[in-house]
Amino acid sequence: MQVRQLKIEGAYEFTPQVFGDARGVFLSPYQEDVFTEAVGRPLYPVVQSSYSVSKRGVVRGIHFTAVPPGMGKYAYCSRGKAVDYIIDTRVGSPTFGMWDSVELDPQNCRSVHIPIGVGHLFVALEDDTTISYLLSTGYEPQREYAIHPLDPEIALPYPEDLDLVLSDRDRAAPTLAEAKELGILPDYAESLRLDARSAAVRSS
């Protein structure tokens, strides 16, 4: 498995070896020994597994979970194709407001790890794009927040040939600067502390 550290601290891309023959393919999107060597700890305890199915042009994000408790994510694409964006929404982080991206599809079979406190968005490039997640906490609507996906300060570079489809929630979301003023963004030091604590629970 190949590993690439992204520009956002704690975020990584993982590309597994794909074994194929006349029957099809076999691969392992998550491999704990590789993850632990790269990140310095095992993945969080997996509390919930989820997936979404999206039409071409659908944008989901920028989403993040209140800290505490925060939510770590490990995501991969089992069908279709998406561009996955990781946005640093942690106040006090040296890369606050910056982003990086990974193209996800079932051919290259890349996965991405999104640490606690970091924002996440993807845009579907094909119909029936399916993104699967391993999550460190369960989904609780009252703890989930969003940043506007078209925030000009973040300036994510969406493919020009897409007609973007946004939910009402994401369309009404504040910009990053507005969210900071509202005091809803995760704190960098607290996010790192919760990240380390989750890992300690997993390894104990």
The two tokens of residue 176 are 């990053």
* Rounded distance between C-alpha atoms, residue 146 and residue 132, angstroms: 20
Q: Please report whether residue 55 resides in a domain.
A: yes
Q: Please report whether residue 56 resides in a domain.
A: yes
- List, by residue number, the catalytic residues: 63, 133
Q: Please report whether residue 24 resides in a domain.
A: no
Q: Please report whether residue 117 resides in a domain.
A: yes
pLDDT tens track for 61-84: 999 999 999 999 999 999 999 999
pTM of the model as a whole? 0.94
Split into its structural domains, the chain has a count of 1
Q: Please report whether residue 63 resides in a domain.
A: yes
Domain that holds residue 95: 2-18+42-203
Q: Please report whether residue 30 resides in a domain.
A: no
* Rounded distance between C-alpha atoms, residue 56 and residue 73, angstroms: 23
CA distances from 168 to 19, 124, 146, 172 (A): 41, 17, 11, 6
Q: Please report whether residue 31 resides in a domain.
A: no
Model confidence band, residue 176 (pLDDT cutoffs 50, 70, 90): very high
Percent of residues in the chain assigned helix, strand, coil, to nearest 5: 20, 35, 45
Model confidence band, residue 202 (pLDDT cutoffs 50, 70, 90): low
Model confidence band, residue 195 (pLDDT cutoffs 50, 70, 90): confident
Average pLDDT value for the chain? 95
pLDDT tens track for 8-52: 999 999 999 999 999 999 999 999 999 999 999 899 999 999 999
β partners of residue 37: none
Place of tokens 């509202």: 182
Q: Please report whether residue 33 resides in a domain.
A: no
* Rounded distance between C-alpha atoms, residue 31 and residue 20, angstroms: 18
Q: What is the CATH number of the domain that holds 150?
A: 2.60.120.10
pLDDT tens track for 86-127: 999 999 999 999 999 999 999 999 999 999 999 999 999 999
Model confidence band, residue 198 (pLDDT cutoffs 50, 70, 90): confident
